[in-house]
């Protein structure tokens, strides 16, 4: 009997301590036991693909004499099929190749037999809302109406808006139809359009109203790929269950990219109808799945960190509409629908339960930032309470994150905050991320659907700058990116006129002996020189490249990382890509700001040869660059320079920081700059040449041998 009591006591103590450490509810809200939570809960270890619990959790009683009058909400769409077909096709292609090569294990053979008909079913449903996702928002609406009935009913109004994503629009419709059914006297209005973008998906590349803010430096230098390899060095053990020879199965594929999509494949099964999903819970061990969650968690923090600036517009919208509704005495709700990255950006902006904390060690990030707090159907609700008629008192606000009471940073008053305190708190938070000057230095023009001209004029880090950007949404129909070469060299404006339907032209590569130029399958040059011209300086000008299929498929790749000049040349010489422009330095690689350390910022360059990378890239010059964002926008960028007090130009480090702060591209590459930097945009700039910037050569535009040309076919 004594032994039994001791065991019971041990069990009780272990459970109590685990819960206490695992979820420390308070203003700081660190989850010290988060790794144990994830290992114990398959749903949580699915990260962004975990499913929301739509119920209202335990609530602190409403202060006496108060009632709910209004709700301000932002919600993520519900469960969906994977947003990219690569979540399915990478594994499918590897298994199909393995079968042809006789490289599959019995488990691999069985999985391929299941995966082929599964792909036939899902291939035309990629990104679509599932029935589970529809039902999630029906239940969220039910919880809202039944928990706060005084918000709805006769005289109340619900205004709902959505991003342009169909799954977000469908989620909005699910919630609104449920509200109409549960509260027929409530007036409900749904809408979606460009004017809703600031309230739904303001970080979208095509947003002409996007907020600008100070230079935000990501707190950790480690790339997502390196983080993955450090935490999951034995990834081939997973592949060995499916393939007899894992290395042969991988081929030239990037391990991080493969496992990023394998994790998405497994996690996404949560969201699919029961009769469709595959049983993949033994695909990874519990430990492997938890480790992949942690690596994905780090990747999402890297990506979403910079979204705090643009997504601050949603906070402004919430404050403005709430203030308007309260002043008018209007009951009801303002609902907004969008995506996980917006929900997580809002959690960081508001510092919900300490979500905006970045510990010194990236391995400790999981204690503060967890992707499972933005599940399918995630929602943030500000619920407003006012005294009942005839009673006085302050307007109070409670914040709910997925139905749980949440802390607003260290603001006093949890969980029923004074509205005046909340407004002041939120303004202070957004002011950290947004330039509030009426003149933000930006001007934006829509050249054509899918093509935006952005220009900046102002002071950056104490230097006057003029920057010109052609922003192409690669999902817009009818566009094609062409690589053009000229012999003899030609002006950018002349090349622009040469192409029917040209809408943008920009200079591209350095001098031919230092770079790789391949157009329509033919090599024009393949970096024949080991040095930069005749200087004796080792050739540093081809460490990365831009590729295009001649249509709307574009990629930027850091191919030369860690390679010698001979190895780089051999790599490009055997490439099967039809169009290649090489250049240097790489500025941003998978969100990693590698350009910051390429040459630093040099103050005394007189001891270096002009073509030395430290002199070439470490001081301010006119710059040309290209960048790719996570939402498939291709940016063609020119920075004017050598004009003191007007536009100083940038170093590679400064250009890297500017691009990260304003666009957060996944990849960015510096091209030839100086007097070569020239950008033409149809209908803009000089009426004869369409040159929007001011080239620095005394004779005007420099003659160069290679150009980017964007045509609208």
583-616 pLDDT, tens digit per residue, is 999 999 999 999 888 764 545 555 666 677 776 6
Pick from 180-184, 260-264, 512-516, 538-542: least confident: 538-542
Asked if residue 82 lies in contact with residue 268, where contact means CB atoms within 8 angstroms, the answer is yes
Q: Over 90: is that where the pLDDT of 386 sits? A: yes
Asked if residue 604 lies in contact with residue 662, where contact means CB atoms within 8 angstroms, the answer is no
Cα gap 367→358, rounded to integer Å: 10
Give the count of beta carbons closer than 10 Å to the beta carbon of residue 219: 13
Give residue 18's pLDDT band: very low, low, confident or very high (50, 70, 90). Answer: very low
Give the count of beta carbons closer than 10 Å to the beta carbon of residue 293: 27
- State mean pLDDT over 393-410: 96
Q: pLDDT tens digits for 305-341? A: 999 999 999 999 999 999 999 999 999 999 999 999 9
Cα gap 497→150, rounded to integer Å: 64
Asked if residue 195 lies in contact with residue 223, where contact means CB atoms within 8 angstroms, the answer is no
Strands, E assignment, 412-491: 417-418, 442-448, 451-460, 463-473, 479-490
438 to each of 191, 423, 457, 659, how far by Cα in Å? 28, 20, 14, 22
Q: Over 60: is that where the pLDDT of 491 sits? A: yes
Asked if residue 51 lies in contact with residue 132, where contact means CB atoms within 8 angstroms, the answer is yes
Tokens matching residue 541: 């000008």
- State mean pLDDT over 85-96: 97
Q: What is the pLDDT of residue 25?
A: 40
Cα gap 637→627, rounded to integer Å: 8
Q: Over 50: is that where the pLDDT of 26 sits? A: no
Asked if residue 346 lies in contact with residue 380, where contact means CB atoms within 8 angstroms, the answer is yes
Asked if residue 484 lies in contact with residue 493, where contact means CB atoms within 8 angstroms, the answer is no
Backbone angles phi, psi at 372, to 5 degrees: -70, -5
Task: Give the residue from 124, 126, 100, 96 showing the smallest Cα distance to 111.
Answer: 96
Task: Give the residue from 472, 507, 524, 460 showing the smallest Cα distance to 628.
Answer: 472
Asked if residue 704 lies in contact with residue 672, where contact means CB atoms within 8 angstroms, the answer is yes
Contacts of 547 (CB under 8 A, 6+ apart): 554, 555, 556, 557, 577, 579, 580
Asked if residue 79 lies in contact with residue 46, where contact means CB atoms within 8 angstroms, the answer is no
Q: How far apart are the first and last CA of the chain?
A: 84
- Which option is the CATH number for 46-79+133-213+305-431: 3.30.230.10, 3.40.50.1240, 1.10.3860.10, 3.40.190.10? 3.40.50.1240
Q: Over 50: is that where the pLDDT of 22 sits? A: no
Cα gap 314→310, rounded to integer Å: 8
Asked if residue 48 lies in contact with residue 343, where contact means CB atoms within 8 angstroms, the answer is no
Contacts of 608 (CB under 8 A, 6+ apart): 602, 614, 615
pTM over 0.85: no
Count of H helices and E strands in the chain?
Answer: 20, 24
- Residues paired with residue 228 on neighbouring β-strands, in sequence order: none
* 3-state helix vs strand vs coil in the chain, percent to 5: 35, 25, 40
- State mean pLDDT over 498-506: 97
Peptide bond into 488 cis (omega under 30): yes
Domain with CATH 3.40.50.1240 in the chain: 46-79+133-213+305-431
């Amino acid at each position: 009997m004594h032994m039994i009591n001791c065991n019971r006591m041990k069990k009780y103590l272990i459970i109590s301590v685990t819960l206490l450490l695992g979820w420390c509810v308070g203003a700081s809200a660190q989850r010290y036991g988060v790794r144990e939570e994830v290992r114990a809960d398959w749903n949580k270890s699915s990260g962004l693909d975990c499913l929301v619990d739509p119920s209202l959790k335990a609530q602190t009683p409403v202060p006496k004499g108060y009632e709910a009058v209004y709700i301000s909400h932002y919600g993520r769409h519900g469960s969906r099929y994977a947003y990219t077909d690569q979540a399915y096709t990478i594994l499918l292609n590897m298994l199909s190749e393995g079968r042809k090569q006789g490289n599959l294990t019995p488990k691999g053979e069985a999985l391929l037999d299941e995966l082929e008909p599964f792909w036939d079913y899902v291939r035309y449903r990629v990104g679509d809302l599932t029935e589970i996702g529809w039902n999630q928002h029906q239940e969220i609406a039910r919880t809202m109406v039944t928990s706060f009935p005084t918000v709805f009913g006769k005289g109340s109004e619900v205004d709902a808006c959505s991003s342009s994503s169909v799954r977000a629009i469908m989620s909005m419709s699910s919630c609104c139809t449920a509200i109409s059914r549960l509260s027929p006297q409530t007036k409900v209005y749904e809408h979606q359009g460009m004017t809703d973008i600031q309230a739904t998906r303001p970080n979208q590349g095509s947003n002409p109203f996007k907020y600008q803010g100070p230079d935000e430096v990501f707190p950790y230098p480690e790339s997502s790929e390196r983080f993955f390899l450090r935490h999951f060095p034995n990834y081939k053990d997973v592949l060995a269950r499916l393939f007899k020879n894992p290395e042969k199965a991988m081929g030239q594929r990037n391990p991080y990219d493969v496992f990023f999509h394998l994790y998405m494949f497994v996690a996404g099964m949560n969201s699919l109808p029961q009769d469709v999903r595959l049983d993949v819970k033994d695909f990874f061990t519990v430990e492997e799945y938890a480790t992949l969650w942690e690596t994905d968690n780090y990747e999402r923090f890297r990506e979403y960190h910079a979204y705090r600036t643009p997504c601050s517009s949603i906070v402004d919208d919430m404050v403005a509409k709430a203030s308007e509704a309260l002043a008018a005495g209007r009951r009801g709700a303002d609902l907004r629908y969008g995506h996980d990255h917006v929900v997580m950006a809002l959690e960081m902006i508001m510092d919900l339960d300490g979500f905006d904390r970045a510990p010194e060690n990236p391995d400790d990030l999981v204690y503060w930032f967890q992707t499972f707090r933005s599940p399918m159907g995630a929602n943030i609700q500000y619920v407003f309470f006012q005294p009942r008629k005839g009673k006085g008192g302050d307007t109070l606000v409670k914040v709910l994150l997925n139905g749980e009471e949440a802390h607003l940073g260290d603001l006093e008053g949890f969980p029923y905050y004074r509205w005046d305190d909340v407004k002041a708190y939120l303004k202070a938070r957004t002011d950290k991320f947004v330039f509030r000057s009426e003149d933000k230095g930006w001007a934006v023009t829509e050249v054509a659907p899918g093509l935006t001209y952005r220009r900046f004029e102002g002071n950056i880090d104490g230097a006057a700058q003029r920057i010109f950007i052609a922003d192409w949404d690669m999902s817009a129909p009818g566009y094609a990116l062409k690589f053009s070469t000229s012999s003899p060299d030609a002006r950018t404006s002349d090349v622009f006129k040469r192409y029917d339907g040209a809408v943008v032209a920009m200079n591209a590569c350095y001098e031919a002996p230092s770079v790789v130029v391949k157009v329509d399958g033919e090599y024009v040059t393949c970096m024949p020189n080991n040095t930069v011209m005749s200087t004796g300086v080792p050739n540093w000008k081809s460490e990365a490249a831009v590729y295009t299929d001649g249509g709307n498929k574009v990629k930027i790749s850091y191919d030369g990382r860690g390679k010698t000049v001979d190895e780089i040349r051999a790599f490009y010489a055997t490439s099967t890509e039809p169009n290649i422009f090489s250049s240097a330095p790489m500025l941003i690689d998978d969100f990693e700001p590698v350009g910051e350390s390429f040459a630093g910022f040099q103050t005394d360059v007189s001891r270096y040869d002009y073509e030395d990378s430290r002199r070439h890239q470490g001081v301010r010059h006119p710059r040309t660059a290209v960048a790719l964002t996570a939402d498939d926008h291709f940016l063609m960028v020119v920075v004017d320079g050598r004009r003191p007090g007007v536009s100083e130009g940038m170093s590679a480090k400064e250009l890297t920081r500017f691009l990260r702060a304003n666009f957060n591209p996944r990849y960015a590459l510096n091209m030839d700059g100086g007097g070569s930097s020239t950008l033409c945009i149809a209908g803009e700039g000089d009426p004869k040449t369409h040159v929007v910037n001011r080239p620095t050569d005394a004779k005007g535009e420099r003659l160069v041998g290679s150009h980017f040309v964007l045509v609208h076919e």
